[in-house]
Amino acid sequence: MCIHVFLLVYSFLLLMLLYHISERNATKLYCGCGKAEVDLELINIKFLLTFCTFGDIIKKTFSYFAYFQLIHIQTAIIIIAATKENHMKRITISDVAREAAVSISTASKALNDTGNIASDTVRRVIDAAERLGYKPNRAAQLLSGKNKRIGILIPSTPEPVFSLYEAGLNKALASFEEYGFRSTLIKFDVENETSDFVRGLETLAGQIDGLIFICGYRADEYMRDIDRLKIPKVSLQITQDKAFCPSVTVDEICVGRMAANFLSFDCTRAAMIVGDRKSTIHKLNIDGFCAEAERRGMTVSSVVDSIDRYDLAYSAAEKIVDGRAADGIFVSSYIAPAVCRCLCDRGLAGKIKVIGVDIWELTLPCLRDGSLTAAIYQNQPYQAKKAVELLVSMLRHERSEYDNIKIKPELVLESALEYYL
């Protein structure tokens, strides 16, 4: 009798437990059978607890226990099968290596750019990864990936154009820091340009994965030194050797043409004051200016070299004014404010048209008071941004070939100045 009572109580409690668990987790059990089937069995348990005899309760208790255990087993099997199927569909680094016919180690180094792998092999591995739809584990990359360090080499000079480049480079590089890119900036002394530039290169050698550089006016003299760094490079300056490395520059011939075109509407004779005609940049400015002036029927009376010095630019403007050599002046350097000062001192501001290049703190008042008629905006921050994007693309081996990028200059009048500030 005691055994019967014990079995009855035990069965009753077990049924109550099964009902409670099943009702709370019914949605989890639908994987193993249909919703209607589960609901029906829950109703049967209620009926059993209410109307059935002692013997029926004991027999049914164990049958229901087995029933719900079976449902849980079926659910577990389905989950395991789904997990296995999902795992089988995932493309691994081994699949990429097999597709590219390289070792797993080579495939990993090529995709993460952490080894000295031939560029054609890197391209083959990347193509294989794209074909297979390989998705690398981003978390693992962040934990074990190698940071890329980009070297920046620019002149240390009061010339504002380089400050504009530096600000643009810093802003663009900051946006890539979360992807593991870091930067090292080195400035070289323009007064001791040759030796200081080489020292800067030697400092960066072995520490960086890519280089963005501006060489100053002697860019073509440094090509051999730069070429010793067997890493991706981007120039922010035009060089005579166009095939040396990819570059991001403003269209300097277009700058000259734009200046001549603008002056030709009001002027018949024009003079040009350049920074240093030995530089490739100013040579192109001169070529573009003279060609467009001839096409427009405007005489170019003189081309004066100021070597980017305010005093020489001021003196050159005095000679042009005193000799009445021109009614329009193009200043293809940052020293346009010196020319404007000369015209203001002579009471000729606004009477002789002056067009300069770039917008910075000293050209702003000249544009506003009319002594500087217009400025050609070369958008150095945008050039810097494109240079960083180009070098990052090269470091990621996103393409096999990279073209030079030419930025179109823009003519800015005082009336539109607010849009460029």
Q: What share of the chain is helix, strand, coil (3-state, %, to 5)?
A: 60, 15, 25
Instruction: Give domain 252-379+413-420's CATH superfamily.
Output: Response regulator (3.40.50.2300)
State residue 385's pLDDT score: 94
State residue 304's pLDDT score: 93
Q: How many CA atoms lie within 13 A of 181 on its CB side?
A: 24
Write down how long the chain is: 421
Distance CA 322, CA 386 (A): 44
The pLDDT averaged over each successive group of 10 residues in the chain (421 residues) is: 51 49 41 40 44 50 47 43 49 87 82 71 86 67 60 85 91 85 84 71 85 74 77 80 77 96 96 87 94 96 90 94 93 94 94 94 93 96 94 84 88 90 77
Locate all alpha helices (DSSP H) within 101-229, ordered by sequence: 104-112, 119-132, 138-144, 160-174, 193-204, 223-227
Beta bridge partners of 376: 357, 411
Q: Are strands 328-331 and 353-357 parallel, antiparallel or unpaired?
A: parallel
Note the CATH number of domain 147-250+383-407: 3.40.50.2300
Residue with the two structure tokens 């958008």: 379
196 Cβ contact list (under 8 Å, min separation 6): 188, 189
Distance CA 204, CA 65 (A): 73
Nearest residue to 61 (alpha-carbon basis) of 28, 17, 26, 23: 17
13 Cβ contact list (under 8 Å, min separation 6): none
Handedness of CA 13, 19, 20, 21 (dihedral sign): positive
Handedness of CA 15, 21, 25, 29 (dihedral sign): negative
411, 358 Cβ separation under 8 angstroms: no
Distance CA 157, CA 159 (A): 5
287, 253 Cβ separation under 8 angstroms: yes
Output the CA torsion 190→191→194→200 (10° steps): -50
353: alpha, beta or left, given left = phi > 0 and alpha = psi -120 to 50?
beta
Beta bridge partners of 355: 330, 374
Q: Hey, what CATH topology would domain 93-143 get?
A: 434 Repressor (Amino-terminal Domain) (1.10.260)
Distance CA 97, CA 416 (A): 56
Distance CA 385, CA 377 (A): 16
Q: Collapse the DSSP code of 303 into the 3-class scheme (helix H, G, I; strand E, B; otherwise coil) and give the result.
A: strand
Give pTM, 2 decimals. 0.65
